[in-house]
Structure 1
Amino acid sequence: MAIVCGHRASRPDSPGEDSRPRHQERDREPFKDESLWPVNQEANPRERAEQRDKGHDPPVPSNLPDPPGEAHGDSSSDERPRAYLKARSRLSVAQGVGHFIYATPFRAHGALVNVVGGSASTALARSLAKELRANFIEVAFERHPGGFPDGERYVRLLSPVAGEHVVLVQSTWPDTNVVEYFLLADAIRDAGASRLTAVIPYYGYGRQDKRFLDGEAISAMTMAKHIALDADEMLTMAIHNPDILATFPIPAREVSGMPAIGRYLKTTDVDFLLAPDGKAIRLVKEAAAIAKKPFDALEKERLDSYTVRMTPKRLDVRGKSVAIVDDVVSTGGTIATATRELRAQGARRVIATCVHGLFVGPALENLKACDEIVATDTIPSAYSKVTVAPEFAAAIRALG
């Protein structure tokens, strides 16, 4: 006998709303860089200059946030911060688009943003809230010390979020964090949030992105469908196959973590950056541009049936300090092999860097060959030396 479980019933509309067609807007373009808050994009410099020549200034951009004195309808100009008035003036000058950003709390479509962090990403969520100048919502993860006796997850929001935009930050690895994400997302929606942006720094279950054998589950798509039940949009980083984003029922976007790696390496004595293979050259190129260092890719040469030699295509590593840049380090086998080869060729120092540091199995033993290990905070570890909060903050601002 085959038993088929019915799918989850849809959530009733929020009070005061006729409907909330969150998933019927796939044709719209949700990610518009021109909406980066609050730089005025209403007129380009040439058009603004033409308006000036005609004897009138262009209007003050309407997309600027209200200053603190106007947040509740108070229009008294005496209460406006002087820096805010300067910002508005600078953005309305005829010489071009200004770049002064007044650091008020970030608003999306008029609503204050609240950031919630799952237990896998609490530190990153706090950093993101600080970047956005948003509210950080505390979460209780245990009803009593030790949690449920059977180890099941428990979550409780400790502040109200009704009618507000909530950003939920939670990596979905390992399995327990997947369950916790869904509990938090449901709790946020049930609490009346008007909008939910899912920030999934590390997208677990993304490796199975196609069906190789009959009867297999495509886990990357399964995750996408379930995330879309509560979220209005999804942001992730260094996903295994970016093509999976097109299968989401909601807008989904990959945010690059290479600028964070580049920022860190810019402060070190690294001579150049290396991609472990040709596939990663796009990533290392982006990090190198931020670090202002030259870059190259390692090339594999098979010497015999058992021996492979890895050498840079162009650059000489003798006496140099080099950084190997990759998106994910799992067992560390590839980087360990590359490190041994680089040392044999005379490299003075080797740093292993990555966005996602899984460090499973023999990873830490393998990576002992490296002088330093650097990962971001998408997956917290002792090697999380750089945050990707600025990258996610910029992406959230771009959502509008």
Structure 2
Amino acid sequence: MNVIAGSASIGLGEKVARILGEDFIRPHVERFPDGELYVRIDGDVDEEVVLIQTTYPNEKIIELFLLQDALREIGVKKIITVIPYFGYSRQDKIFKKGEAISARAMVRHIEMNADYFIGMDLHSENVLTWFDIQTKHLHATKPIAEWLKTKGVDMVISPDKGGYKRARYVAQEMGVEFDYLEKTRLSGTEVIIKPKNLDAEGKTVGIVDDIISTGGTIARAADQLREQGAKRIYAVCTHGLFIGRAMENMRKVNDFAATDTIEGGNSKITVAGVIAESIKSL
């Protein structure tokens, strides 16, 4: 087996290969003057390959499709496609007539040249139902919990009810309390946001989310927790986009981190071990 990574996931791919004890292959990727991509995979490649590529931003999706095609052309029989961050997964249903279901469209293209799909903290597990190949859904719970432990966090919070299970799983790994923030309207103009069941006063709180995009949700949550007496506040997510005013918003917390599903300066946590263990179990 070889491990190959597209340009969006080189660092993660190298780590996965090292844990598995397999050869890592870095494909040749370049851009033509007109913006189109060119890929080439040099050297001998095994018949079974793990291909790791985050599909963000848009050009990384095209790169994934080209890499899959190149692997088939050189005779690879089994392609395990690992997408650490699945771009377009948030549009998994129709909200207004005439929309595309973007996640489903991506699935149809991915599975054309894949024999197995592995995703990480998908926005919705509904995405998996559209695959006609075998799939596995992984979570970054354990590495996130380890990072929060180093910060002395004694209370884990989800910024909303939708992420309650994620907060619970992380907290259980740590052996601490967990809750989610709930919005309560006191009047036509006054709204209070606070943990539904627990008191944040004097606590070192870890806010856990799946995606940090602009950081607005984290900033609002941090403001409310400080008002309620939280001692220190940390924020962590699986997928760190950090776009727009994100860096300004993240000043509201004492420290923050993301995993390396999207590689960047804030990728302080690796999910390589989680991915490697899932591949070993196939």
Match of 1:204 in 2: 87
Asked if 2 retains the 8 angstrom alpha-carbon contact of 1:160 and 1:191, the reply is no
Secondary structure at the aligned position of 1:324 is classed as strand
* Residue 265 of structure 2 corresponds to residue 378 of structure 1: no
Secondary structure at the aligned position of 1:155 is classed as strand
Q: Deviations over 1:329-349 (max 9, x none)?
A: 111111111100111111121
Asked if 1 retains the 8 angstrom alpha-carbon contact of 2:121 and 2:138, the reply is yes
Residue 126 (structure 1) aligned to one of 8, 11, 14? 14
* Residue 9 of structure 2 corresponds to residue 116 of structure 1: no
**Displacement of 1:153 after TM fit?**
1.6
Asked if 1 retains the 8 angstrom alpha-carbon contact of 2:107 and 2:131, the reply is yes
1:342 and 1:258 map into 2 onto residues whose CA distance is 22
**Displacement of 1:271 after TM fit?**
1.8
Provide the alpha-carbon RMSD of the alignment: 1.4
Q: Deviations over 1:176-198 (max 9, x none)?
A: 10011111111111111110000
Residue 24 (structure 2) aligned to one of 111, 127, 136? 136
* Residue 79 of structure 2 corresponds to residue 191 of structure 1: no
Match of 1:284 in 2: 167
Secondary structure at the aligned position of 2:118 is classed as strand
**Displacement of 1:140 after TM fit?**
1.5
Match of 1:330 in 2: 213
Secondary structure at the aligned position of 1:298 is classed as strand
TM-score of the pair, normalised by structure 1:
0.68
Q: Deviations over 1:312-342 (max 9, x none)?
A: 2333222221110111111111111110011
Asked if 1 retains the 8 angstrom alpha-carbon contact of 2:94 and 2:101, the reply is yes
Match of 1:154 in 2: 38
Asked if 1 retains the 8 angstrom alpha-carbon contact of 2:10 and 2:26, the reply is no
* Residue 238 of structure 2 corresponds to residue 350 of structure 1: no
Aligned pairs, number: 282
Asked if 1 retains the 8 angstrom alpha-carbon contact of 2:153 and 2:206, the reply is yes
Asked if 2 retains the 8 angstrom alpha-carbon contact of 1:351 and 1:373, the reply is yes
Q: Deviations over 1:77-106 (max 9, x none)?
A: xxxxxxxxxxxxxxxxxxxxxxxxxxxxxx
**Displacement of 1:305 after TM fit?**
3.5
* Residue 250 of structure 2 corresponds to residue 367 of structure 1: yes
Q: Deviations over 1:249-302 (max 9, x none)?
A: 211221111112012112221121111122211111111122232222222112
Secondary structure at the aligned position of 2:187 is classed as coil
* Residue 124 of structure 2 corresponds to residue 241 of structure 1: yes
- Name which structure has the greater RCO, CA cutoff 8 Å, separation 6+: 2
Secondary structure at the aligned position of 2:152 is classed as coil
Which amino acid in the other structure matches residue 8 of structure 2? A
* Residue 191 of structure 2 corresponds to residue 303 of structure 1: no
Asked if 2 retains the 8 angstrom alpha-carbon contact of 1:274 and 1:295, the reply is yes
Structure 2's unaligned 5+ residue stretches are none
Asked if 2 retains the 8 angstrom alpha-carbon contact of 1:246 and 1:252, the reply is no
Q: Which has the higher strand share?
A: 2
Match of 2:103 in 1: 220
**Displacement of 1:306 after TM fit?**
4.1
Structure 1's unaligned 5+ residue stretches are 1-112
* Residue 276 of structure 2 corresponds to residue 393 of structure 1: yes
Deviates more, 1:208-217 or 1:344-353: 208-217
Which amino acid in the other structure matches residue 72 of structure 2? R
TM-score of the pair, normalised by structure 2:
0.95
1:228 and 1:207 map into 2 onto residues whose CA distance is 18
Report % sequence identity.
45
**Displacement of 1:208 after TM fit?**
1.4
Structure 1 residues 159 and 303: CA distance shift in structure 2, 3 A: farther
Asked if 1 retains the 8 angstrom alpha-carbon contact of 2:2 and 2:49, the reply is yes
Which amino acid in the other structure matches residue 261 of structure 1? I
Match of 2:146 in 1: 263
Asked if 2 retains the 8 angstrom alpha-carbon contact of 1:232 and 1:251, the reply is yes
Asked if 1 retains the 8 angstrom alpha-carbon contact of 2:179 and 2:197, the reply is yes
Secondary structure at the aligned position of 1:186 is classed as helix
Which amino acid in the other structure matches residue 131 of structure 2? F
**Displacement of 1:386 after TM fit?**
0.7
1:397 and 1:246 map into 2 onto residues whose CA distance is 23
